[in-house]
Structures are given as structure tokens and as C-alpha cells.
Amino acid sequence: AACAAAMRNLYINIGKAFYEPAGHVFAHNYTHYDISGGRGSLKSSTVSELVPILIMQNPNTHALVLRKVGNTLRDSVYAQYMWALEKLGVAEYWEAKKTPMELIFKPTGQKIMFRGADDPMKIKSIKVPFGYIAVTHFEEKDQFAGRAEIRNILQSTMRGGSVFWNFESYNPPISRDNWANRDSLEQRPDRLCHKSTYLDVQNVDWLGEQFITEAEMLKQTNERAYEHEYLGVPVGTGGNVFDNLDIRAISDEEIAAFDKIYNGV
């Protein structure tokens, strides 16, 4: 009953851009999901709703949610998952624990566990009461040291079962050369790379009028910053010392008007 209610509520609460990816998730068409986007793209909220449903659909499984630094968990992904359970209409079926930080599905004892990657030994020593860890969610993927760190964690978690789902959600860093941006360009048959923006959100009330106002104001005053922050476009080359430049010739009249001259090496 809980799972059926959650599925009904899911498509009411997620952005239209995620309808197709959600279908792939439940059909297990891919193992890895690279979910990126700008501010307000609903990527993190969508993943936080998909994961509990996967757990409820697969009784022998558990989930592990990770951030790079453990002390950021409570006010970020843990709170996000609590919100998701309310939106899905199934909060009454889940027990929330803070020490250790876990959400427990009451009918079966399945767990969604929250850990920081800054203590890798705690990740390697995780033991579940039954079954295996089928779902992992790396929130703010770009904050991790690189693909090797994520791969090392997955080598500890992706064992003992037959099906797995791995979600990696993040805002693309400004530099195109950042490892997270380069990583999303590497194709592999078992991974879906998905990008979304606030423009894909069908209900403006989910973001609020002020959010839209701030986005449009930045678009008018600093289009480059708007493209990065709200559209999730990596607009930097990685080699620029100064990013906000207008490249043009300086006239003799402008040079003559310079009143504060500084020299340096």
C-alpha cells in the first residue's frame, strides 16, 4: 500500500524532465545515473523521491546516501529525504534515526543510510541486517576527489546482489576541465547522463516567483553567470585568471582618462 501511494504521488511531485528517467530507473534500464543541472532543476529532490520507492519495491535491499563531508549530511540530504517521504505520502511508514543517521522502513527493517566519504573506514565497515546495498546516491558529486574515489566506494557497496542503482547528482562546476564535467561526457552503455534546468519545472509555485525574478535579473546583468548557475553550463575554460572580461581594443581617449595607474609583474 505504501509503495502504491508513493508511485501515485511521485509523478505529481517531480519535474516533467524526469518522467522518462524515472521510467528507466524503475525498469532498471541502466545502473548508473549522472544527474546534473542548475539551481532549481529539481535533480536532488527527484532522486530523494526515487530512492525510497526503489527500497520499498525491492524488499531485500538497502540504500546508502553519501556526501563528501559527513557533517553536511543532516541539514542537506537527510533533510531532503525527510521532505521526500512527506511528499510521497509515506512518512508514517518510516522511522527517522539520527545516531546513526538512518531512515528505516518499518514493515521490513530496510534502511536508507547516510554517510560522509571523509571517513572511508566507516563506509567499508557498513553491515546491513539482511540483503545488500542496492542503491547508492552521491550528492554533490563534484565535491568528491574524482572518479577513483567514487569507484572505490562502489567497490565496497556493489556486492552481494543482482541489481544495483547508482545516482550521482550535482551542479556542473564552472570549468569545463573539472573532472565531474569531463566524466559526464564519457559514454558507457550502463549509464544515463541527464541534464535539466529550472525552465523544465512545470509548476512555478514549486520554485516561487522570487526565484524566477532573481534568475531573470542575473540573465540581464551577467549572462555568463546565469548560464552557469541556472542553466548548469560549464562556461569556464579552467585557465582564466579573470572571468568577467570584455575583450576589445582600448582607445587612446580612454587611456588618457586613466587617473590611477598601477604597475606590477
Q: Could you give the residue numbers annotated as active site? A: 140
Q: How far is CA 256 from CA 193, 246, 259, in A?
A: 53, 19, 8
Q: What residue has cell string 517521504? A: 85
Grid cell of 81 as nine digits = 529525504
Assess contact for 186 and 3: CB atoms under 8 A. Answer: no
- Estimate to the nearest angstrom the gap between the alpha carbon of 226 and the chain centroid: 19
Task: Return the amino acid letter for 93.
Answer: Y
Grid cell of 218 as nine digits = 542575473
- From the list 249, 246, 209, the residue with the least C-alpha distance to 224 is 246
Please list the alpha-helical segments (H only) found in the chain.
Answer: 2-13, 19-27, 43-57, 79-88, 120-124, 147-157, 179-185, 209-221, 223-229, 252-257
Residue 10 DSSP one-character state: H
